Amino acid sequence: MNFLLITIFISLLIYSIEAGQYEVHNRPNYLSLNSNKNDENSNQLTVSNFANNFATILGLSSDQTEKQEEPMFYSTRPLEIPSSTWLIHIEGLDRLSDTGTPLEDNCEFDINSLQSKLNQIGNYDILSTGSIVISSKSDLDNFEQILKDQISRLNEKASVNYIVIVCDDCQNDNAVQQLQNQLKTAIDKIIANDPQTLAMTLATKQSARIRRARETEESANVTIAPMYSDDYPVMFNLFFWTSLVLALIVISIVYVFLTLDPGADTIIYRMTAPRLKVD
């Protein structure tokens, strides 16, 4: 009896820790997967590890972590980034398939952090995002068409495409299998259009953040401010004070010329004035 309780406790603990999963469906020829992902001695990957590896693949800097991270990919062309990248993020599921790699769900995957890094290097239009909410069985039945419509609305010029799927009605195995089959059909079409694309799926159990943000935006009509670079305050102060000083200098020069008396204030009239001849 005690052994059974201990087994159940350990299973629940593992379930609570491994609350995420990622899977690579296609990759360019110069990228190879890390073969140590199933090694028991290797560190368990986390969602933040996945986010850092994803940023590194795109040529961006990664965030600092306490533990040393193992790369998800090895590249024979370190300076080259994929011409097309697709990440489909399913929120509300801890796992999508049996072939994926488990993740410790230590934090939420924040696409805004990736967008901020892209903005800092001037790539404002490289990332295109979309969202889908599955809140009923009808949404799940029509998911393939909904996903197709969402993909068609993405920016064609963007090389990084991110779609988040908030799955509120995917709690049983049949729903997960149906979602997986329809998702695979869409991914296969993406790969057929570009065999060198990097296509990945990410599943995380956390889904309340997106739902709360969407409900707040719809009810309060919130206007989201545009993203600015971290150098914006420095550049603002530089241009503001330089412009102010130049404006004061111009005003001073104009004031001096307006109050100038040519006869008394200039040396030209003094030097050219005739001198009377004295005997």
Q: Classify residue 153: in a domain, yes or no.
A: yes
Residue 177 lies in a domain: yes
Determine the pLDDT at residue 5: 47
State which residues form the domain around 188: 81-93+110-204
* Tally of domains in the chain: 1
CB 103 within 8 A of CB 24: no
The verdict on residue 10 lying in a domain is no
Q: Is residue 193 part of a domain?
A: yes
Contacts of 176 by beta carbon, 8 Å cutoff, 6+ apart: 93, 96, 170
**Residue from 59, 99, 94, 100 nearest 80 by CA:** 59
Taking only the tens place, the pLDDT of each residue in 67-83 is: 666 777 888 888 888 88
Model pTM score: 0.65
pLDDT digits (tens, 9 = 90+) for 28-37: 988 888 765 5
Position 150 in a domain: yes
CA distance 152 to 169: 24
Chain segment 9-33, per-residue pLDDT in tens: 444 444 444 468 888 999 998 888 8
Which segments within the chain are labelled E, that is strand?
20-26, 31-33, 73-75, 85-91, 101-103, 127-134, 160-167, 198-204
187 within some domain = yes
For residue 253, the model assigns a pLDDT of 93
Low-confidence ranges of the chain (pLDDT < 50): 4-5, 7-18, 41, 208, 211, 213, 216-217, 220
pLDDT at 218: 53
Q: Is residue 229 part of a domain?
A: no
Residue 45: other Cβ atoms inside 10 A: 23
Taking CA atoms, 221 is separated from 51, 112, 208, 226, in Å, by 30, 20, 19, 16
User: Can you give the pLDDT at residue 71?
Assistant: 79
pLDDT of residue 249: 96
Residue 261, both tokens:
């008396």
The closest of 84, 90, 87 to 72, measured between CA atoms, is 87
217 inside domain: no
